[in-house]
Every structure is written in C-alpha cells, then in structure tokens.
Structure 1
C-alpha cells in the first residue's frame, strides 16, 4: 500500500479524492479536539482504500476540503467504512449538514459476528490480524503543528488496518448470511437526524431530583439557554454552566438577577452583565412541562406494572439465551425499550418482529408472552421448550 506524506494543499487533495472516487470503499477516521470549543475542531483526516492511504491536514493554510467532503456525502458509489464512527459522522454533518453515505461501521459488524457489543479498534485489529497497535500517540494534541512522523504514522495506521479488515469482515458476513442483518443498523447511524442537537431537548441529559412540572420546565429553559449560548460563543457547555448548577437553578430559581452572584458555579459578574440578563429572561419565560412532556419515572418502566416488569425481565433472559445461541450481540437484536414495549402489550412497530430479528428472537418472544414457551434447566444449562 502506498502511504502518502501529509496532504496540506488543495491540488494534492483533489487528485487523491479523484483516485479514491474510483474505489469500491474508503476507510475513514478523524482526529479532533473539543476540550475548549462547543464544535469539535477537526485536526486531521485519515483515509485509505486497498491501494493507498493518506492523512489530510484540515488546519493547513488555504486548504479547501470540498473534494473530500464531496467524496464523503455526495458520492453514493463509494462505501465509507468507519469504526465506532459516531463522532466522525458528527464532524462531517457539522461541516455539510449531511452524513457520509453509504456507510459501514465495523464495530456494529463485529456485533453480528459475535465479537461483543462495543469491541475496541485495537482489539478488533489484534483479533483479525494478530497485530498489536502502538497506542503511544493516542493522547496527542492534534491541533498543534507540526505533527511528527510518529504521530502521522499512528493516525494513518487507523485506516490502513481498517482497509485490510473490512474485506475480511464482509466475506465472513456473506458466508454466514448476516450481511443483510446490518442494513437497517447502517442506515440508522447514517440518519442526519441523529446528529442535530436540539436545544429544546438538551434538558433530557441533565439529572434533577424533582419531578415537579414547574421545576422541569425551568430545567428545560435553562438547558436550552446554555445550548444556544455555548453555540454562539463556541464554548464547551460545561464551561459556560455545569449540569449541577443548572439543576440547582431549576430547583431554587433566583428572584432577581442580582441573586446570581450567590449561585455556586456562576461568576459574580452574571449578576449585572448581559448573559445573566438572558438567563433571567429564560427563567422568567419558562413554562411548566405538559403531561405529555413529562419523562417516565426511573423506578417504573413506562406502561408497565409490577407483573409487566417481570415479563420484561423474562424477555431479557430469553434475549441473552438467543443471543448466545446465535453468537450475536444482544443489543444488535433488540433494545431494552422494545422489550418493555412488548411486555406492556405492544405488537406494532417493533423491529424484533421483522426480518431476521423475528427469526432469531421475535417469534420466541411472542411465544413467551403468550404462554407458549417455558424455561427449564437441564444438566446445568438453560433450555426452552414449547408448551402445547
């Protein structure tokens, strides 16, 4: 495989992308920093096919990434291969409002191959090639220039091995007939809606002890305020206001802006500056959550009574057994919220009742819920039997 020097000009990048556009797939990885910014700062892009690999410097003066971004989001003929690519996809979405497509994530593929739910890249490489990767440059500050040869070699290694592993994984999936199992999952992670941060939903990521609608309404208002301010200033959310401070403000709202000086976690200057005024405005306009907006209780599964919760636990046990028997990660077969939905009586719109998931798990899950399947232990092993 040809390894190119670090690409730092538009002409060389354009020529590389023109060649890669004729490939059947490209392996892609990124290095970025987000410790000091709201938006991740793209610092390096690594890309490879079966013949060549390169690292691209997005921070190089005057470089235009359009040829690369067009390859990623406009060229439907080239498959984009990533490993645990959520953050890489997010970066492309931030730059283009689109996501790479078509897409193949080797971490998800490993789930269908019985290699675990979240197999790390280093472990995947060692498992499939016997090579132990050097992790020495893992904590590099990728925004600093110049990058030395060891750093660049480390970064390019992430895609050269990915380009080597992908065809092997594809062959194994085809031989086992499991390639089609992944189509829905790959489309799901490529959905642009997954990478849009809605300020009105930011509150759902913050823990607060109260379930009072007025408290949660203030939580929603303050979290949305922080999201918008952090974007505008390009600052990390937590640097602007920490989650625990937001929760405290929601439970104990200040009456006047001058009271912000007494809030632990806020600078005293908020008592008299513009950002403090905007926070107070958000608090004053906060409305209690409607019943439809109220989150489910954490100690009570939505729509489930005590008996329903026991049925959901039985379904989880069945899922573990079927996942073991089929040598596939349980999370690829079914999510826990779907198990709760089935236990509560839902039968429509469940992915476990469609396609391969129905054959592997769904039909037995239905039989269990309908009293046609029983668990037993034989010779120390969990088995299931149909009930006439």
Structure 2
C-alpha cells in the first residue's frame, strides 16, 4: 500500500479524492480536540482504500477541504467505513450540515458476528490482524504543529488496518446472512438529526426532574440558554453549568440573584455578575412546558411486581443464552427495559418485529406465555419447548 506524505495543499487533496472516488470503499478516521471548545476542532483526517493511504492536515494554511467533504457527503458510490464513527461523523456534520453516506461502522458490525458490544479499535485490530497497536501517541495534542513522523504514522495506521479488516468483516456478514440486521443501525449513524444541536430540544438530553410542567418548562428554557452561552463563548456547555446544577435550578429556582451563591455547582460570583443576571431573566420568563411537548411515558403494561420481576430476570437469562448460542451481542437483539416491558405485558416492541422476532423475540414471547422452559442438556443451560418436553415424556412412558 502506498503511504503519502502529509497532505497540506488543495491540489494534492483534489488529486487524492479523484483517485479515491473510483474505490468501492474508503476507511476514514479523524483526530480532533474538544476539551476546551464547544465544537470539536478537526486537526487531522486519515483516509485509505486498498491501494493508498494519506493523512490530511485541515489546519494547513490555504487548504480547501471541499474535495474531501464532497467525497464524504455527495458521492453515493463510495462506502465510507468508520470504527466507532459517531464523533467522526459529528465533525463532518458540523462542517457541512450533512452526514457521510453510505456508511459502515465496524464496531456496530461486530455486534452481529460476535458477542462484543463495544469492541475497541486496538482489540479489533488484534482480533482480525493479530497486530498490537502502539498506543503511545493516543493522547497527542493533535492541534500542535508540526506533527512528528511518529504521530502521522500512528494516525495513518488507523485507516490502513481498517481497510484490511473491513473486507474480512463483510465476508463474514455475507456468510452468516446477517448484513440486513445492521441496516437500521447504520442508517441511524447517518441520520443528521443525531448530531445537529437544536437548543430548543437540548433539555431532552438532561435527566428530567419528574413530569411537572413548570419544572420542565424551566429546564427547557435554561438548557436552551446554556447552549447559546456555550456556543457564543465556544466552550463546552459543562463549563457554563453542569447538567445536575441546571436540573436542580429548574426544580428549585432561586428567587433572587443573590441566592445563586448558595447553589451547589456555581461560584459565588454568579450572585452579582452578568451571566447570573441573564440566568435569572431566563428563570423569570420561563413558561410551563406545553402538554404537546411533555415526554412520553415509557411503554409499560401492568406493574411488574415480584412475579413479573422474576419473569424479566428469566428473559434476561434467555437473552444471554441466545446471544451465546448464535454469537451475537445481546445489545443488538434487545435491551433490559424491553425485557421488563415484555414481562409486564407490552407487545408493541422492536424485539417482536422482523429479524429480532425470528432469532429471539418468538422464544421470549413463548417464555412469557409459559410455552418455553429452561433445561440442562449436556451440562449446559438450554431452552426447551413445553410441548416437546411433554412429547418426550409420553414417548418414554410408551416405551416402558
């Protein structure tokens, strides 16, 4: 594989992207810094196909990133392969308002062909290529220039390895017939709404203090205000105020600005500074959350009770057994809250739809309905249908 020098000019980038546009796929990774800023600062982009690899310096003076961004977001013929690519995709969305498409995430794909739920990149490389990655440059300040040869080599290695691993994963997915299991997960990764921050809906990311419309109205107003303050200053929202502090103020609003000095998580300076004044204005003007915006209650049937809780535990045990049997990550099949809802009588669940129903949901439903039981077979815990057990017993009795 040809490894290019660090790309710092628009002409070099244009030529590279024209060649990569002829590929079936490209492996992509980014290096960025976000500890001190609201928006992540893109510091390096690594990209490779099966023939060549390069690192691109977006901080290089005069470099126009348009050829690369067009390849990512406008070229539908080239598959973009990431590993745990959520943050990489977020950066591209911040630059273009669009997500790369089509996309493939090897971390998500591993959930369909192994029991690994969030396999790290180093473990992925060791599993598929038997190579141990040098992690020495992992905590590099990628914004500092010049980058050393070791830093660039480390960074490019992420995509050279990924370009070799992806075809192997794809081959196994085809062999197992599980590629369609991942369609919804990959489309979710490519959904721009997951990355574009709307201050008016940012409150939904904060653990809600109950369902009181007045409290939730203040939470919505304060969360939107915090986003605006953080964006204006380009600092992480937590530097303005932590989620717990914001939720506490929404639930127990101070009556006077001087009372802000008593709020845990705020400095005493808030009692008489400008940001404290702006906060008090938001509190005073906040309106109750409209009924139409109230968060939906989680789907539940009857209260679980002790018996229902036992059924939920049995479902979780069944999930572990099935995940082990078919070598798939349990998280890809369903979640704990779905198991509890199923035990409580809810039937409008993803686990009872499509391929999930075929490989797990059908048996889970039969367990709840008393048609399935646990049994020990060959020293291992397994599932047995009640009808099959009865038939076996009848055959045994008849044989006597």
- For normalisation by structure 2, the TM-score amounts to 0.88
Are the counterparts in 1 of residues 230 and 240 from structure 2 also a CA contact under 8 Å? yes
Are the counterparts in 2 of residues 105 and 186 from structure 1 also a CA contact under 8 Å? yes
Question: Would the alpha carbon gap of residues 387 and 113 (structure 1) be closer, same or farther in structure 2, given more than 3 Å must change?
Answer: same
The 1-side partners of 2:4 and 2:95 are apart by 25
1:233 deviates by 1.9
The 2-side partners of 1:98 and 1:337 are apart by 32
CA deviation digits over 1:138-186, x for unaligned, max 9? 0000011110000000000000000011111111111222222222221
Give the 3-state SS of the residue equivalent to 1:53 in structure 2: strand
Matched, 1:355 2:354: yes
Q: CA RMSD in A?
A: 2.4
The 2-side partners of 1:101 and 1:84 are apart by 15
For structure 1, which runs of at least 5 residues remain unmatched after alignment? none
Question: Would the alpha carbon gap of residues 312 and 256 (structure 1) be closer, same or farther in structure 2, given more than 3 Å must change?
Answer: same
Are the counterparts in 2 of residues 26 and 163 from structure 1 also a CA contact under 8 Å? yes
Structure 2 partner of 1:306: 304
Further displaced range: 278-287 or 133-142: 278-287
CA deviation digits over 1:330-382, x for unaligned, max 9? 1111233433443343334x332333222210211221232221223345422
1:9 deviates by 1.0
Are the counterparts in 1 of residues 301 and 345 from structure 2 also a CA contact under 8 Å? no
Matched, 1:324 2:339: no
Question: Would the alpha carbon gap of residues 248 and 346 (structure 1) be closer, same or farther in structure 2, given more than 3 Å must change?
Answer: closer
Give the 3-state SS of the residue equivalent to 2:114 in structure 1: coil
Are the counterparts in 2 of residues 98 and 192 from structure 1 also a CA contact under 8 Å? yes
Give the 3-state SS of the residue equivalent to 2:8 in structure 1: coil
Further displaced range: 261-270 or 147-156: 261-270
Structure 1 partner of 2:397: none
- For normalisation by structure 1, the TM-score amounts to 0.91
Give the 3-state SS of the residue equivalent to 1:311 in structure 2: helix
Structure 1 partner of 2:241: 241
Structure 1 partner of 2:367: 368
Further displaced range: 225-234 or 245-254: 245-254
Are the counterparts in 1 of residues 49 and 163 from structure 2 also a CA contact under 8 Å? yes
Matched, 1:101 2:101: yes
CA deviation digits over 1:183-234, x for unaligned, max 9? 2221121111211233344334445776655444433332222122112221
Give the 3-state SS of the residue equivalent to 2:146 in structure 1: coil
Structure 2 partner of 1:196: 196
1:309 deviates by 4.0
CA deviation digits over 1:241-270, x for unaligned, max 9? 123332342343222234334545435554
Structure 1 partner of 2:294: 293
CA deviation digits over 1:308-328, x for unaligned, max 9? 444333322221111111110
Question: Would the alpha carbon gap of residues 380 and 287 (structure 1) be closer, same or farther in structure 2, given more than 3 Å must change?
Answer: farther
Structure 2 partner of 1:58: 58
Aligned length: 384
Give the 3-state SS of the residue equivalent to 1:99 in structure 2: coil
Aligned pairs (5 A) from 1:250-269: 250-269=250-269
Are the counterparts in 2 of residues 374 and 387 from structure 1 also a CA contact under 8 Å? yes
The 2-side partners of 1:302 and 1:324 are apart by 28
Are the counterparts in 2 of residues 42 and 58 from structure 1 also a CA contact under 8 Å? yes
Structure 1 partner of 2:398: none
CA deviation digits over 1:104-147, x for unaligned, max 9? 11111111111511111101101111110000000000011110
Matched, 1:88 2:88: yes
Matched, 1:76 2:48: no
1:284 deviates by 1.3
Structure 1 partner of 2:382: 383
Structure 1 partner of 2:135: 135
Structure 2 partner of 1:153: 153
Structure 2 partner of 1:29: 29
Structure 2 partner of 1:218: 218
Structure 1 partner of 2:393: none
The 2-side partners of 1:241 and 1:336 are apart by 31
The structure with more radius of gyration: 2
